[in-house]
């Protein structure tokens, strides 16, 4: 009689799910429980959990089966985590013929879950990428912990069996108990909620306008101004003017949160654009991602959303320079001895900073107490490559009293969002068939194709290059911003006014002082 | 080993054999020796269809209380991993060398494979004055 079984499970390497085959064999002798296939400590310890769980669920405990061998294939991939508890238990049950072995049903099923000693199933992280890949690979059934069922509600066309405990699963295979296939309750179209609204901000109209351009074109922005002028508040309201995420974007974001274990069990799908504001003492690894087995960092958690770096220049220069490559590519590849992982990191960077250590260098009312060299040293922290990747620099001045006290109601976020959405739609149509989505992602090839200037525009640019000594990169960046402004105005071509506004955002950089 | 000790051991083994027979075990061999190892009893468990290698541990006490905890050192305390591995080794040798002895009980076993087997421990605590014994049976031992 053959004593082997094959059960499928799934590992998540970075964000990529890999199907793992859990093979079980046993032969007579005094009890030994061997797990091979590069397991980590958590998996090696799973023999204790699985053994107790099986015993307490009324199955034949592994110690009565003699020598038990578990192989996790592919053998060269390092396995980690606790998702293999359930497949190992099911493998043992199948190998010892306690549940039907080698059925088509078992072949088409995927098992994930952590076991408690009494046989209950505990929730695990990263269930969404697993479920999505299960569907892609043509699996028909997935067995997962009951707690995790709600996270999978976006995946359709797969039988999802939420399992409460091992006993229930065994009875299910005996056909004495039916496990109800999980059906997502009909929820209303997920609606994002915002706590901050741009309408609540008094004054600062030009900053709001700049933010609108940023949101429309997906550019990166740097807000410069004295303390208390509202930089942080504006940044916090920024997600509310961004267009709502489509389903694909929601899934991408939720996947990352799922792998990072930051998903709220009550809210299975993240439909607000993430807003991540790491403190300036964050380490490189916290920001970029990393660890022995790579995990996503803040920039990946901000994928499709906003990464807000308050007190930008207080970040260590090295940390800031880590951002160079992800800002350019929209992905970050983390390589460690244990393996490498690629995480998406397409976010809008909002940096906020003071112009000098005391913060009042640009303030007309309060005198700056910093020496010229201190200011120069402070601003030197912003390295050239990083400032090149920031398209728009906006100065946020102190608000005058009469503005603060006025009852003037400014435009609220919904109205701005509608315009932004329109501009994004235009871009979407324009870049159909290209690999890019926003104006900010345009390369030189796209610029030549989509940013044709009028003769007046050309004249203006010649003057600007001559007067402001624009670098080549800056020159092209100006086009991108002008393109976005033109999109906001629903204009097909780039007019002089658009160019002029774009030039103005660029020059704040040189006049930080 | 003194004669008394030997005699006591033999006595305990006799007790265990009758105990196992009562439990519907078939005793195949006693005191099987191969090289340095010895297995006290080799029996066939009809109920579970398994070959059982039994290690008997006995200890003699002045008097045994009603509660087994009152016995300072219980007989099973004297078995450790090293002893268990020794039994395991001898068991494998038995399975290989003496296949005639066990094959009659495992008729339809494929070629080159071994029957289901296990190691059991039976502890015997005997009261000296009355020769009454407490027997405890531990199944499926593993190190």
> For residues A432 and B7, what is the distance between their CA atoms, to the nearest angstrom?
95
Confidence (pLDDT) at A37 = 92
Instruction: Chain A: give the shortest CA distance to residue B14, in Å.
Output: 25
ipTM value, please give it.
Answer: 0.84
> For residues A96 and A509, what is the distance between their CA atoms, to the nearest angstrom?
71
The average pLDDT across B88-99 equals 92
**What's the token pair of residue A41?**
């400590």
**Which residue of chain A has the CA closest to B115?**
A28
Confidence (pLDDT) at A513 = 42
**Which residue of chain B has the CA closest to A28?**
B116
Backbone phi, psi, residue A351, to 5°: -105, 140
**What's the token pair of residue A139?**
């699996």
> For residues A276 and B134, what is the distance between their CA atoms, to the nearest angstrom?
70
> For residues B95 and B92, what is the distance between their CA atoms, to the nearest angstrom?
5
Taking an 8 Å cut-off on Cβ atoms, the answer to whether B119 and A30 are in contact is yes
- Contact between residue A87 and residue A22 where contact means Cβ atoms under 8 Å apart: yes
Contacts A66 to B, Cβ<8 Å: 116-118
Confidence (pLDDT) at A22 = 95
Taking an 8 Å cut-off on Cβ atoms, the answer to whether A30 and B116 are in contact is no
Taking an 8 Å cut-off on Cβ atoms, the answer to whether A30 and B141 are in contact is yes
Q: Residue A12 pairs with which residues in a beta bridge?
A: A17
> For residues A407 and A495, what is the distance between their CA atoms, to the nearest angstrom?
35
| Average pLDDT, consecutive stretches of 10 residues, N- to C-terminus, chain A (513 residues) | 86 86 91 92 92 94 92 88 92 92 88 95 89 91 91 86 94 90 71 79 86 91 88 89 86 88 78 90 90 87 92 88 87 83 91 87 83 85 81 85 76 88 89 82 83 85 84 81 91 87 69 47
Backbone phi, psi, residue B68, to 5°: -70, -20
**Which residue of chain B has the CA closest to A1?**
B110
Tokens 């000790």 belong to which residue? Answer: B5
DSSP string, B5-38: HHHHHHHHHHHHHHHHHHTTEEEEEEEEEETTEE
- Residue ranges of alpha helices (H) inside A57-149 are 85-95, 104-107, 127-136
> For residues A67 and A64, what is the distance between their CA atoms, to the nearest angstrom?
9
The average pLDDT across B21-34 equals 94
In whole angstroms, how far apart are CA A213 and each of A49, A98, A100, A112, A449? Answer: 55, 64, 61, 45, 21
- Contact between residue A159 and residue A140 where contact means Cβ atoms under 8 Å apart: yes
Backbone phi, psi, residue A44, to 5°: -60, -35
pLDDT > 70 in chain A, percent: 97
In whole angstroms, how far apart are CA A399 and each of A35, A109, A196? Answer: 66, 62, 19
Taking an 8 Å cut-off on Cβ atoms, the answer to whether B88 and A30 are in contact is yes
> For residues B30 and B42, what is the distance between their CA atoms, to the nearest angstrom?
6
CA A332 to chain centre: 11
Q: With an 8 Å Cβ cutoff, is A373 touching chain B? A: no
CB atoms within 10 A of CB B25: 19
Give A21's contacts (C-beta < 8 A, 6+ positions apart). A6, A7, A8, A9, A71, A72, A73, A74
Using the 8-state DSSP alphabet, how is residue A120 labeled?
B
Give A199's contacts (C-beta < 8 A, 6+ positions apart). A409, A410, A411, A412, A413
Record the pTM: 0.81
In whole angstroms, how far apart are CA A363 and each of A366, A398, A400, A513? Answer: 6, 7, 12, 9
Q: With an 8 Å Cβ cutoff, is A2 touching chain B? A: no
Residue A402, burial from CB neighbour count under 10 angstroms (0-12, 13-18, 19+): exposed
Residue B68 has pLDDT above 90, yes or no: no
Q: With an 8 Å Cβ cutoff, is A29 touching chain B? A: yes
Confidence (pLDDT) at A509 = 46
Given phi > 0 = left and psi -120 to 50 = alpha, else beta, which region is A81? left
Interface of B with A (CB under 8 A): 84, 88, 113-119, 140-143
**Which residue of chain A has the CA closest to B88?**
A30
Confidence (pLDDT) at A187 = 61
| Structural domains present in chain A | 4-173 (3.30.230.10), 198-438 (3.40.50.300)
Pairing of strands B117-127, A141-145: unpaired
CATH classification code of B3-138: 3.40.1350.10
Pairing of strands A67-73, A348-353: unpaired
**What's the token pair of residue A291?**
């660890």
The average pLDDT across B98-104 equals 88
Using the 8-state DSSP alphabet, how is residue A381 labeled?
T
């Amino acid at each position: 009689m053959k004593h082997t079984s094959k059960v499928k499970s799934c590992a998540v390497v970075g964000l990529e799910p890999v199907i793992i085959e859990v093979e079980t064999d046993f032969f007579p002798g005094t009890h030994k429980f061997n797990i091979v296939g590069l397991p980590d400590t958590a998996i090696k310890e799973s023999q204790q959990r699985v053994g107790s769980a099986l015993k307490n669920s009324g199955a034949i405990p592994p110690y009565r089966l003699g020598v038990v061998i578990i192989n996790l294939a592919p053998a060269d991939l390092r396995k980690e985590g606790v998702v293999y508890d359930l497949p190992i238990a099911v493998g043992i049950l199948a190998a010892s013929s306690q549940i039907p072995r080698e059925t088509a049903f078992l072949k088409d099923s995927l098992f994930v879950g952590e076991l408690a000693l009494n046989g209950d199933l505990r929730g695990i992280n990263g269930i969404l990428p697993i479920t999505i890949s299960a569907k892609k690979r043509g699996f028909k059934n997935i067995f997962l912990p009951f707690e995790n069922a709600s996270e999978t509600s976006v995946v359709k066309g797969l039988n999802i069996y939420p399992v409460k405990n091992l006993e229930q699963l065994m009875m299910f295979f005996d056909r004495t108990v039916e496990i109800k296939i999980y059906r997502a309750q009909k929820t209303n179209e997920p609606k994002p909620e915002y706590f901050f609204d741009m309408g609540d901000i008094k004054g600062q109209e030009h900053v709001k306008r700049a933010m609108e351009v940023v949101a429309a074109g997906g550019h990166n922005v740097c807000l410069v101004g004295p303390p208390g002028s509202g930089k942080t508040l504006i940044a916090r309201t920024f997600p509310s003017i961004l267009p709502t995420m489509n389903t694909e974007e929601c899934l991408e974001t939720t996947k990352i949160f799922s792998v990072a274990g930051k998903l709220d069990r009550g809210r299975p799908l993240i439909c607000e654009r993430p807003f991540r504001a790491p403190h300036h003492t964050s380490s490189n690894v916290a920001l970029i991602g990393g660890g022995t087995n790579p995990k996503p960092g803040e920039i990946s958690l901000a994928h499709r959303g906003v990464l807000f770096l308050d007190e930008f220049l207080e970040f260590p220069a090295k940390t800031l320079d880590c951002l160079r490559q992800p800002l350019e590519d929209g992905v970050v590849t983390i390589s460690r001895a244990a393996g490498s992982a690629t995480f998406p990191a397409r976010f809008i960077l909002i940096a906020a900073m003071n112009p000098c250590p005391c913060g009042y260098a640009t303030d007309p009312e309060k005198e700056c107490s910093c020496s010229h060299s201190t200011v120069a040293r402070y601003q030197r922290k912003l390295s050239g490559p990083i400032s090149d990747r920031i398209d728009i620099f906006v100065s946020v001045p102190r608000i005058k009293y009469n503005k603060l006290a006025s009852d003037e109601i400014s435009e609220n976020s919904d109205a701005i969002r509608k315009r932004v959405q329109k501009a994004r739609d235009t871009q979407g149509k324009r870049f159909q068939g290209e690999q890019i989505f926003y104006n900010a992602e345009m390369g030189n090839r796209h610029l030549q194709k989509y940013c044709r200037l009028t003769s007046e525009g050309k004249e203006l640019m010649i003057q600007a290059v001559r007067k402001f000594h624009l670098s080549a990169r800056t020159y092209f960046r100006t086009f991108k911003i002008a393109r976005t402004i033109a999109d906001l105005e629903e204009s097909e071509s780039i007019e002089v006014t658009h160019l002029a506004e774009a030039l103005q955002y660029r020059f704040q950089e040189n006049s930080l002082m | 080993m003194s004669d008394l000790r030997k005699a006591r051991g033999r006595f305990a083994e006799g007790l265990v054999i009758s105990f196992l027979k009562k439990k519907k075990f078939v005793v195949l061999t006693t005191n099987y020796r191969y090289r340095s190892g010895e297995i006290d009893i080799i029996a066939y468990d009809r109920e579970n269809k398994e070959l059982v290698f039994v290690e008997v541990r006995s200890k003699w006490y002045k008097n045994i209380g009603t509660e087994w905890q009152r016995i300072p050192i219980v007989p099973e305390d004297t078995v450790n991993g090293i002893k268990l591995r020794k039994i395991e080794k001898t068991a494998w040798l038995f399975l290989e060398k003496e296949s005639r002895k066990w094959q009659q009980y495992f008729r339809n076993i494929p070629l080159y494979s071994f029957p289901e087997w296990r190691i059991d421990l039976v502890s015997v605590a005997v009261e000296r004055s009355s020769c009454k014994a407490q027997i405890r049976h531990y199944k499926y031992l593993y190190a």
